[in-house]
């Protein structure tokens, strides 16, 4: 059994009020073991070799440093274990502190033991392989016999003969940091890192629309449609990070690709977009082979096929046309390693490209508008044409037959439409023994008693149905859709852990979009477009761009609105995690949600938030009028906020109920619902406030002291909605399913969970007429419609009294 990790000696030797070194906390084991070498110029100049094991870094001080020459038996003194976080430490330790001096990250990578680590440490002979940027191959640590009266734990570090050995030490020329490119002197002086950094650490990926034919004209380029994992690669400071389209970090799943990217970059910073694939014997990308690699990394190896370049050496390239980005990318990748390849394209000739792809039994092609920027949305700039039917489906359950009581006989599949999970059929083909074992392991903990589908399928005779929470996504091939909306001859291909179930919809091919025509603008708009303006110090580019057609509202108008609204808006929208709606081509065109930070922007603050799975996610918030205007400069129209502030992240203080009427209901019925809800809240002794939604209903908002947990907050909101539905069952429902709303108002309580958002007070809505979600007084309910406050009206109202005055002075706790 491994020995318990102990960092007490490390902590005892350091005063963390004075040193920037990380405090000693035992870490969690990753998929691969990391190693590092730090050049440490303290009282004596030396190198520290650190090997990850059992949640800490086993550490040896090597006075002369490592050598590739097996004749060089370098003394290595075993010192106290260090925390895993020490692998990120580079800087200075104050004089007078333990180890005072300069520390450089001289090398880093992964290591693999060549035996039983615990036993080898006891025996005093630890053999291992290093896979770093400077140190590679087999090495051995051999313990020396202790000298009488000496406490030192002395070892020798020796290079093994494996074909990588040299007659010189092979490392003397390396005198800069692998992370920052700095020398020891520059680190001691506190100089900035020399290696370029990326302008953003998160990005929404550009997505393709399914179309039924290739568009006419020469303004398109076409590429093969690959069958793998869509992956963004963030490469900087000597390391690479692989991130899926929904933000999952897959670096540890594909370590060889990450290592190839980091080595090839050689200090350059870049953000790449591509597909991580495994090819079959004929060179076709094969999703099942990729699944096989994840189960057994010893099989066919993956490759990263790169088709776009989003940033290079600190410059954000997303606003440049695709043709320019690909030209730079192709030149950049001229010397790329074999497992990182440039994805070639064909200009024009879409139908010919599709015919050729289908003839080679490929999945299809992707067309991209050559002059388009990269907007991270499904806006029609990218399209896909398929040779057959393959798409993702949500797994809502599985069956077991009398012949297969321990495995999976078939998967019950669905897709989301209008917020409901629609049943799409069952897939039994493609479920071998290995797939069945993998699925049952993935299903653990997801069982539920009722079906997640809006209309659940009936069990067949002699089979057992197990319903599942709709958390997993499967890739499925099928022949066609039946008239009943079910799949014909579906075949399971594998799990898609890179896809969000809520993003899974039935794909329907549409006609390709026509090239965008220039909009007609007024004289004022044309003049404004020619010259940038500044609002609250923020430079507004293309200020005359129309974001709303009728009435005409420009980008400058929106920026000036948020500058004017900031004083009223920031108490409710500032300091809260945001999801924003951006409309690069105006509110009438494709808009998209964004919840992760991009490039550093004035007034926009990145925030690290722990996710439910234990991983950290990057979000952002604004804390000033400059932040609101900066977002407007990026074509943001809507601001949606969490119900808690970042300084009380786990204690919400703003509960929102959205009254969402079914089609055909009259406005008087919606207003009656608002009064009924207020009456119920009054009976509970709760003060509440009213605002328009900018849509069909009103929002009732209840302030609380930030004390209750998210679970308690969410549960209380649900009970309020259920009470409404039970008291007036013919008027209201608390069920999210559209089928349950027939002639009723849905009391939407679901915006009160951790991570859920609601539109902020004073936010514009990306809807015709530029409506505002506007705070109003209770006695204005019969005078103002839910979409009755336009931007112009909102600005005029802000000249008068505040209907929500005292909102945060309300002292009420959740009981």
Q: How confident is the model at residue 497 (pLDDT cuts 50, 70, 90)?
A: confident
Mark whether 183 and 213 lie in a shared domain.
no
Whether the CB-CB separation of 240 and 110 falls below 8 Å is answered with no
% residues pLDDT > 70 (the chain) = 92
Q: Please check the confidence at residue 736 and state whether its pLDDT lies above 80.
A: no
* Residue 502 to residue 492: CA distance in whole angstroms: 19
The string of pLDDT tens digits covering residues 542-556 is: 899 899 988 899 999
Mark whether 379 and 400 lie in a shared domain.
no
Q: How confident is the model at residue 516 (pLDDT cuts 50, 70, 90)?
A: very low
CA-based nearest residue to 200, from 311, 297, 46 = 311
Q: Which of 52-66, 173-187, 660-674 has the lowest mean pLDDT?
A: 173-187
The string of pLDDT tens digits covering residues 762-813 is: 999 999 899 999 999 999 999 999 999 999 999 999 988 999 999 989 888 8
Q: Alpha carbon 396 to chain centroid distance?
A: 24
Backbone CA torsion sign across 748, 751, 753, 755? positive
Alpha helices in 530-648 (DSSP H): 555-573, 625-633
Secondary structure (3-state) at 732: strand
Tell me whether residue 420 is in a domain.
yes
The string of pLDDT tens digits covering residues 328-353 is: 888 888 878 888 999 988 888 788 88
The string of pLDDT tens digits covering residues 48-86 is: 999 999 889 999 999 999 999 999 999 999 999 999 889
| Distinct helix (H) and strand (E) counts, the chain | 14, 44
Strand pairing of 153-159 and 209-210?
unpaired
Mark whether 269 and 415 lie in a shared domain.
no
CA-based nearest residue to 424, from 457, 447, 452, 446 = 457
Q: Please check the confidence at residue 740 and state whether its pLDDT lies above 70.
A: no
Mark whether 64 and 16 lie in a shared domain.
yes
Tell me whether residue 348 is in a domain.
yes
Mark whether 637 and 758 lie in a shared domain.
no
Q: What is the DSSP string of 424-470?
A: EEEE-BT--HHHHHHHHHHHTT-EESS--SSSPPPPPTTEEEEEEEE
Q: Which of 103-112, 167-176, 466-475 has the lowest mean pLDDT?
A: 167-176
Which range, 23-32, 157-166, 274-283, has the best average confidence (pLDDT)? 157-166
Q: Please check the confidence at residue 735 and state whether its pLDDT lies above 70.
A: yes
Whether the CB-CB separation of 605 and 627 falls below 8 Å is answered with yes
Tell me whether residue 196 is in a domain.
no
Mark whether 567 and 497 lie in a shared domain.
no
Q: How confident is the model at residue 189 (pLDDT cuts 50, 70, 90)?
A: confident
Q: How confident is the model at residue 232 (pLDDT cuts 50, 70, 90)?
A: very high
Return the CATH number at 475.
Answer: 2.40.50.140
In this prediction, residue 520 carries a pLDDT of 40
What is the set of active-site residues?
225
> Which of residues 525 and 225 earns the better pLDDT score?
225
Query: 62 has which bridge partners?
Result: 47
Tell me whether residue 711 is in a domain.
yes
Q: Which of 220-234, 529-543, 545-559 has the lowest mean pLDDT?
A: 529-543
User: Residues near 443 by Cβ (< 8 Å), separated by ≥ 6?
Assistant: 398, 466, 468, 472
In this prediction, residue 513 carries a pLDDT of 53
Q: Please check the confidence at residue 661 and state whether its pLDDT lies above 80.
A: yes
* Residue 162 to residue 51: CA distance in whole angstroms: 20
In this prediction, residue 404 carries a pLDDT of 63
Mark whether 98 and 118 lie in a shared domain.
yes
In this prediction, residue 309 carries a pLDDT of 95
The string of pLDDT tens digits covering residues 129-165 is: 998 888 999 999 999 988 776 777 999 999 999 988 8
Return the CATH number at 231.
Answer: 3.30.470.30
Q: Alpha carbon 93 to chain centroid distance?
A: 35
Tell me whether residue 516 is in a domain.
no
**What is the rounded average pLDDT of the residues 572-592?**
84
Q: Please check the confidence at residue 397 and state whether its pLDDT lies above 70.
A: yes
Q: Please check the confidence at residue 202 and state whether its pLDDT lies above 80.
A: yes
> Which of residues 643 and 483 earns the better pLDDT score?
643
Tell me whether residue 449 is in a domain.
yes
Q: Please check the confidence at residue 733 and state whether its pLDDT lies above 70.
A: yes
Mark whether 280 and 393 lie in a shared domain.
no
In this prediction, residue 595 carries a pLDDT of 80
Whether the CB-CB separation of 745 and 739 falls below 8 Å is answered with no
* Residue 721 to residue 656: CA distance in whole angstroms: 11
Residue 591: domain span = 523-641
The string of pLDDT tens digits covering residues 600-618 is: 678 899 898 886 556 677 8
The total number of structural domains that make up the chain: 5
């Amino acid at each position: 059994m491994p020995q318990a990790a102990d960092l007490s000696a490390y902590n005892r030797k350091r005063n963390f009020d004075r040193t920037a070194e990380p405090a000693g906390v035992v870490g969690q084991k990753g998929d691969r073991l990391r190693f590092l070498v730090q050049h440490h110029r303290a009282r004596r100049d030396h190198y520290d070799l650190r090997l990850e094991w059992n949640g800490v870094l086993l550490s040896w001080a090597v006075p002369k440093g490592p050598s590739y020459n097996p004749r060089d038996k370098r003394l290595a003194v075993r010192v106290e274990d260090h925390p895993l976080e020490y692998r990120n430490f580079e800087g200075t330790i104050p004089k007078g502190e333990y180890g005072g001096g300069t520390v450089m990250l001289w090398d880093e990578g992964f290591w693999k033991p060549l035996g039983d680590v615990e036993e080898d440490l006891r025996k005093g002979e630890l053999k291992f392989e290093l896979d770093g940027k400077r140190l590679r191959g087999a090495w051995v640590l051999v313990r020396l016999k202790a000298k009488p009266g000496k406490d030192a734990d002395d070892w020798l570090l020796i290079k093994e003969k494996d074909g990588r050995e040299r007659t010189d030490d092979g490392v003397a020329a390396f005198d800069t940091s692998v992370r920052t490119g700095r020398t020891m002197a520059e680190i001691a002086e506190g100089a900035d890192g020399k290696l370029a950094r990326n302008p953003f650490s998160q990005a929404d990926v550009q997505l393709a629309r399914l179309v039924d034919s290739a568009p006419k004209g020469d303004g398109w380029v076409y590429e093969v449609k690959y069958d793998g994992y869509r992956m963004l690669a963030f490469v900087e400071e000597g390391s690479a990070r692989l991130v899926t389209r929904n933000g999952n970090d897959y670096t540890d799943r594909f370590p060889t690709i990450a290592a190839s990217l980091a080595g090839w970059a050689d200090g350059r910073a870049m953000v790449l977009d591509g597909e991580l694939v495994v090819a079959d014997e004929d060179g076709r990308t094969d999703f099942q082979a990729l699944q096989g690699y994840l189960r057994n990394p010893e099989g066919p190896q993956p490759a990263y096929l790169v088709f776009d370049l989003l940033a290079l050496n600190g410059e954000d390239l997303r606003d440049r046309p695709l043709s320019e980005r690909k030209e730079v990318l192709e030149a950049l990748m001229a010397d790329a390693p074999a497992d990182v390849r440039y994805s070639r394209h064909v200009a024009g000739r879409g139908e010919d490209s599709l015919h050729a792809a289908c003839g080679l039994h490929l999945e299809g092609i992707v067309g991209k508008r050559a002059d388009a920027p990269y907007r991270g949305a499904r806006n029609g700039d990218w399209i896909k044409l398929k040779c057959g039917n393959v798409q993702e489906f949500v797994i809502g359950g599985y069956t077991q037959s009398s012949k297969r009581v321990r495995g999976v006989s078939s998967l019950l599949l669905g897709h989301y439409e209008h917020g409901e999970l629609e049943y799409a059929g069952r897939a039994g083909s493609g479920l071998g023994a290995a797939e069945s074992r993998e699925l049952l392991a993935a299903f653990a903990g997801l069982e539920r008693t009722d079906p997640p589908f809006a209309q659940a399928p009936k069990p067949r005779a002699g089979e057992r149905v197990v319903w599942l929470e709709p958390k997993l996504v499967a890739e499925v091939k099928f022949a066609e859709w039946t008239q009943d909306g079910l799949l014909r001859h579906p075949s399971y291909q594998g799990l898609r852990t890179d896809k969000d179930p809520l993003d899974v919809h039935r794909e329907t091919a549409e006609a390709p979009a026509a090239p965008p025509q220039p909009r007609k603008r007024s004289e004022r708009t044309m003049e404004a477009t020619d010259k940038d303006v500044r609002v609250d110090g923020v430079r507004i580019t293309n200020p005359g761009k129309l974001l709303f057609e009728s009435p005409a509202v420009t980008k400058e108008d929106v920026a000036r609105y948020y500058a004017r609204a900031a004083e009223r808006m920031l108490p409710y929208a500032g300091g809260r995690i945001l999801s924003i709606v951006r409309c690069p081509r105006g509110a009438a065109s494709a808009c998209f949600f964004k919840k992760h930070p991009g490039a550093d922007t004035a007034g926009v603050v990145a925030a690290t938030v722990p996710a439910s799975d234990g991983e950290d996610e990057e979000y952002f918030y604004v804390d000033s009028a400059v932040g609101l205007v900066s977002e407007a400069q990026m074509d943001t129209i809507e601001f949606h906020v969490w119900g808690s502030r970042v300084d009380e992240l786990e204690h919400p203080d703003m509960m929102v109920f959205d009254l969402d009427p079914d089609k055909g209901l009259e406005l008087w019925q919606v207003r009656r619902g608002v009064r009924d809800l207020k009456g119920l809240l009054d009976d509970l002794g709760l003060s509440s406030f009213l605002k328009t939604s900018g849509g069909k209903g009103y929002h009732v908002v209840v302030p609380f002291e930030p004390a209750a947990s998210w679970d308690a907050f969410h549960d209380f909101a649900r009970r309020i909605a259920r009470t409404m539905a039970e008291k007036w069952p013919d008027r209201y429902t608390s069920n999210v399913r559209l089928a349950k709303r027939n002639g009723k108002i849905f009391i939407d309580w679901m915006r009160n969970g951790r991570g859920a958002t609601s539109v902020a007070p004073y936010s514009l809505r990306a809807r015709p007429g530029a409506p505002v979600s506007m705070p109003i007084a209770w006695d204005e309910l019969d005078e103002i419609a839910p979409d009755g406050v336009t931007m112009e009206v909102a600005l005029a109202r802000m000249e008068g009294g505040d209907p929500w005055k005292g909102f945060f002075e309300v002292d009420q706790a959740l009981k």
